[in-house]
């Protein structure tokens, strides 16, 4: 089985009669994955240029190549296109039979909250009896199988293959995270989204975008992909998100604490055991699929933070618009276990540990705001600097940390570059380190710094006492923090046991 090469060539504006009648059995842009009968698409990446691997692809059995240029003779047809990334997306969508057209695809974008919101929507739908596909940072989830994720939004060939497999399983719903990089590189080109969600927009990803304006433009490009007969949920409490509301063709449903929100968060209570609020819908909310009737829905979460109430409001809105009964929405959110390294709570003896992938000013603000509602005797912070993201983000992160250090009276601030636990794409540069520490000094704050993550965690363990709260913060540099801390604690003949947020209150009593 396969697709005739002339049929695919026609998509690229080639005359089908000028192309040999070969059969394409697969499409890939990764030369390492080429199998006999495949079409290889040479894509220029940030680290590698696929054009350099055309020869390798041919040796592995590629029957044809799509490229932006042909520098040497090859033994198979080579179709030249102006943009091989967009060509890959168009070819893959056609090859797999445009699976998004047969699915209800929910795309979740935003600087922060994409993963949690997407997982919440998937959890609600499954709780309501609808097996749902999930594509994002935590992995790719079919009806039962789970596959590791290499990118938040996979490449177009991989993405279309996953959607086709989910369709073949009989799934009706798919929830996926949409990153700005995924939009910029054309990975979602050609997809049909039934719903969109915009959680927020704050400063980030200046390493992959020429400016913050370009970053905003990528978010807007995704929203513009939603047809006029589709619906997007937007956080109206967020200034960045509100700026993109103008000139949207899709229906807009707002959520947030603002009284004019279509889905209003009221009676918000942050507690040691989680978060409670009431979702209030005062007037009918019209979406493209159905009209959500007015309701008052008390909701409780096992996870901490006001920002998670916003994530839950968005998830609830999407679920209600998909026809899920309110009682299942409440039940699912009450049992939602949270996401790894998103305000994840553990007990270390009689010390509470919170692990979070805080990586930009907004996510740091959210974590520290959540901490203000927790009981503890002393607060210790271990923070992994962000590597290869530029001095600007590190400078602002340092400013946020310094401001909260004064407000919360940190007992200790320990920093690390995690030199042995990050790859070359996440290594902290001298310029980033200098920007971070210069800002701390300007704010009158110093830290105990260790290049090695394990040494930084050991220093924290040497300082903690019963009743303390230990924060492990940072993106890739802190990914190994949980395991390393567990190993260090085990060496002290103790157990590192996950706990529910409800047990956090007990940590204040040694």
pLDDT of res. 234: 97
Task: Look at residue 92 and tell me if it is in a domain.
Answer: no
Whether residues 140 and 193 fall in one domain: yes
pTM equals 0.94
Task: Tell which of 19, 51, 84 closes a domain.
Answer: 84
CATH number at residue 66: 3.40.1390.10
Task: Look at residue 110 and tell me if it is in a domain.
Answer: yes
Tell me how far apart the alpha carbons of residues 385 and 97 are, in angstroms, rounded to a whole number.
44
Task: Tell which of 266, 300, 335 closes a domain.
Answer: 335
Task: Give the sign of the dihedral formed by CA 197, CA 203, CA 208, CA 210.
Answer: positive
Task: Tell which of 55, 84, 113 closes a domain.
Answer: 84
pLDDT of res. 205: 57
pLDDT of res. 209: 65
Whether residues 309 and 374 fall in one domain: no
Whether residues 125 and 257 fall in one domain: yes
In 314-378, the DSSP E strands lie at: 344-348, 351-356
Task: Look at residue 91 and tell me if it is in a domain.
Answer: no
What is each CA distance from 429 to 181, 211, 400, 413, 473, in whole angstroms? 22, 20, 20, 21, 19
Task: Look at residue 90 and tell me if it is in a domain.
Answer: no
pLDDT of res. 246: 84
Whether residues 162 and 30 fall in one domain: no
Whether residues 323 and 370 fall in one domain: no
Task: Look at residue 325 and tell me if it is in a domain.
Answer: yes
pLDDT of res. 508: 43
| Backbone φ and ψ of 67, nearest 5° | -150, 165
Sheet with 64-67: list strands edge to edge.
26-28, 38-41, 64-67, 78-80
Whether residues 232 and 294 fall in one domain: yes
In 417-474, the DSSP E strands lie at: 448-450, 469-473
pLDDT of res. 1: 74
Helix (H, G, I), strand (E, B) or coil at 303: coil
pLDDT of res. 385: 98
Q: How many domains are there within the chain?
A: 3
Whether residues 459 and 482 fall in one domain: yes
CATH number at residue 171: 3.40.1190.10
Tokens of 174: 């798919």
Whether residues 318 and 400 fall in one domain: no
Q: 134 near 51, Cβ under 8 Å?
A: no
Tell me how far apart the alpha carbons of residues 50 and 30 are, in angstroms, rounded to a whole number.
8
pLDDT of res. 313: 98
Task: Look at residue 94 and tell me if it is in a domain.
Answer: no
Helix (H, G, I), strand (E, B) or coil at 130: coil
Whether residues 389 and 330 fall in one domain: no
Helix (H, G, I), strand (E, B) or coil at 147: strand
Helices (H) and strands (E) in the chain, counts: 15, 26
* Mode of pairing for the β-strands spanning 78-80 and 104-109: unpaired
CATH number at residue 376: 3.90.190.20
Tell me how far apart the alpha carbons of residues 459 and 275 are, in angstroms, rounded to a whole number.
32
pLDDT of res. 420: 96
Mean pLDDT by 10 residues, the chain (510 residues): 94 95 97 97 89 96 97 94 97 98 97 96 98 96 92 94 97 97 93 97 68 89 93 96 89 97 97 94 95 98 96 98 98 97 93 95 95 96 95 95 97 98 95 98 97 98 96 97 94 60 48
Q: For residue 127, what is the enclosing H or E element? A: helix 114-127
Burial class from Cβ neighbours inside 10 Å (0-12, 13-18, 19+) for residue 224 reads middle
pLDDT of res. 490: 87
Tell me how far apart the alpha carbons of residues 456 and 415 are, in angstroms, rounded to a whole number.
7
Q: For residue 7, what is the enclosing H or E element? A: helix 5-11
Tokens of 39: 């079409």
Whether residues 119 and 73 fall in one domain: no
Task: Look at residue 89 and tell me if it is in a domain.
Answer: no
pLDDT of res. 293: 97
Tell me how far apart the alpha carbons of residues 89 and 11 are, in angstroms, rounded to a whole number.
11
Task: Look at residue 93 and tell me if it is in a domain.
Answer: no
Whether residues 31 and 151 fall in one domain: no
Question: Which domain, by its residues, includes 32?
Answer: 3-84
Whether residues 324 and 350 fall in one domain: no
């Amino acid at each position: 089985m396969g697709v005739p090469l002339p049929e695919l060539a026609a998509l690229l504006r080639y005359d089908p009669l000028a192309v040999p009648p070969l059969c394409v059995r697969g499409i890939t842009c990764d030369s390492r994955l080429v199998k006999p009968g495949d079409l290889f698409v040479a894509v220029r990446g940030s680290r590698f240029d696929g054009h350099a691997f055309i020869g390798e692809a041919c040796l592995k059995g590629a029957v044809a190549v799509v490229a932006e240029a042909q520098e040497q003779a090859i033994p198979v047809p080579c179709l030249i296109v102006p943009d091989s990334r967009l060509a890959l997306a168009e070819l893959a969508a056609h090859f797999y039979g445009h699976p998004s057209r047969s699915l209800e695809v929910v795309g979740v974008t935003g600087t922060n909250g994409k993963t949690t919101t997407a997982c919440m929507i998937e959890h609600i739908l499954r709780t309501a009896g609808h097996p749902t596909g999930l594509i994002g940072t935590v992995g790719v989830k079919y009806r039962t199988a789970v596959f590791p994720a290499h990118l938040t939004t996979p490449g177009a060939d991989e993405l279309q293959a996953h959607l086709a497999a989910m369709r073949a399983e009989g799934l009706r719903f798919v929830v996926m995270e949409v990153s700005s990089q995924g939009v910029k590189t054309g990975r979602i080109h050609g997809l049909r989204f039934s719903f969109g969600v915009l959680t927020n927009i704050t400063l980030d990803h200046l390493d992959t975008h020429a400016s913050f304006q370009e970053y905003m433009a990528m978010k807007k490009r995704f929203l513009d992909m939603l047809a006029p007969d589709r619906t997007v949920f937007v956080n109206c409490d967020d200034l960045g998100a509100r700026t993109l509301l103008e000139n949207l063709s899709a229906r807009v449903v707002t959520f947030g604490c603002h009284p004019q929100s279509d889905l209003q968060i009221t009676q918000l209570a942050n507690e040691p055991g989680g978060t409670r609020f009431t979702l209030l819908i005062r007037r009918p909310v019209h979406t493209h699929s159905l009209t959500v009737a007015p309701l008052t829905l008390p909701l409780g979460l096992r996870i901490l933070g006001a920002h998670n109430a916003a994530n839950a409001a968005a998830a609830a809105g999407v679920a209600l618009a998909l026809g899920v009964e309110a009682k299942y929405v409440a039940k699912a959110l009450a049992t939602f276990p949270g996401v790894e390294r998103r305000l994840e709570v553990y007990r270390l003896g009689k010390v509470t540990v919170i692990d979070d992938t805080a990586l930009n000013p907004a996510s740091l603000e959210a974590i520290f705001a959540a901490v203000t509602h927790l009981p503890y005797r002393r607060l210790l912070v271990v923070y992994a600097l962000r590597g290869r993201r530029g001095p600007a983000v590190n400078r602002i992160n340092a400013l946020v940390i310094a401001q909260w250090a004064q407000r919360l009276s940190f007992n200790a601030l320990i920093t690390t570059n995690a030199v042995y636990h990050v790859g070359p794409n996440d290594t902290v540069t001298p310029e980033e380190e200098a920007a971070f520490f210069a800002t701390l000094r300007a704010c009158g704050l110093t830290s105990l710094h260790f290049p090695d993550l394990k040494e930084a965690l050991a220093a924290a363990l040497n300082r903690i006492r019963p009743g303390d709260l230990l924060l492990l913060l940072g993106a890739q540099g802190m990914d190994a923090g949980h395991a390393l801390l567990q190993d260090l604690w085990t060496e002290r003949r103790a157990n590192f046991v996950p706990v529910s947020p409800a047990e956090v209150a007990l940590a204040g009593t040694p």
